[in-house]
Amino acid sequence: MSKLVLLRHGQSLFNLEGRFTGWLDIDLSERGRAEAGEAGWLMKSSGLSFDIAFASVLKRAIRTLWIVLDEMDQMWIPALPCWRLNERFYGDLQGKSKQETEKRYGMAQVQIWRRSFLERPPAVDEEDDRNPGLDARYRDVLDSLLPRTESLQDTQERVLPFWRALIAPELEKGKNVLVVSHGNTIRALVKHLENISDLEIEKVEIATARPLVYELDDQMRLVGRHYLGGVQACGKNGK
């Protein structure tokens, strides 16, 4: 029996300010750091330990991972970052106030962009500073793989090759795996793991820094799931 824990990073500075973040490299707020420490304490207190961890290449996820592993006294385990675990790329919305975006486009349209599985927000231009092709951390990634906007479906298609190539094989070996990532990236993984429909995924919420624990048998079948810390689970079953 292996365990997979999906953990959204703690509150970021843009979460606090009500801005779209996406691939912008925004750090944790003070509350976010405290949330990460609490998540580590919860996992340690519940008897969890890990053999390997994965994170995105964005500092809010990496810092959450560092704080968690420090709290658990497990900073020695392999911890591998990858761009495929980055947040959904929100295109031209990135960095903008959610309130101001709603005033410009209307609340209904913004809600579709945020929750729909298929809809993409407006893209960034090639010359835009937010274009990941201009960021040194992605210099070894084929330009054709780097988004200028993404739907949740696009995010899932980006994440699943990494799931199949690196995460699932560790679970198949019976290892416990921690994945520290972002709200929409985790939604994409939850959709895959629980076979949630395109419509039902719109209702799925991922709380900041609350460990979501999956138990898998040796055939990679899901046999249990729960949140730590008294938060209700966020998948289609709501339990």
Domain range list for the chain: 2-89+150-227
Gap between the Cα atoms of 93 and 38, Å rounded: 31
Residue 162: both structure tokens together: 């990494």
Gap between the Cα atoms of 164 and 167, Å rounded: 6
Strand order in the sheet with 177-181: 79-81, 52-55, 177-181, 2-8, 212-216, 222-227
In DSSP terms, which residues pair with 226 in a beta bridge? 213
What end-to-end distance do the CA atoms of the chain give, in Å?
Answer: 21
Catalytic residues: 9, 87
- List per-residue pLDDT tens for the chain, 239 residues long: 899 999 999 999 999 999 999 999 999 999 999 999 999 999 999 999 999 999 999 999 999 999 999 999 999 999 999 999 999 999 999 999 999 999 999 999 999 999 999 999 999 999 999 999 999 999 999 999 999 999 999 999 999 999 999 999 999 999 999 999 999 999 999 999 999 999 999 999 999 999 999 999 988 899 999 999 864 434 433 32
The CATH number of 2-89+150-227 is 3.40.50.1240
Gap between the Cα atoms of 202 and 22, Å rounded: 18
Contacts of 37 (CB under 8 A, 6+ apart): 67, 68, 71
CA-wise closest residue to 83 among 13, 139, 15: 139
Specify the pLDDT at position 150.
98
Residue 24: both structure tokens together: 């912008």
Specify the pLDDT at position 219.
86
Specify the pLDDT at position 218.
85
Which burial class, exposed, middle or buried, applies to 118 when counting CB atoms under 10 A from its CB (0-12, 13-18, 19+)? exposed
CA-wise closest residue to 121 among 113, 112, 133, 109: 113
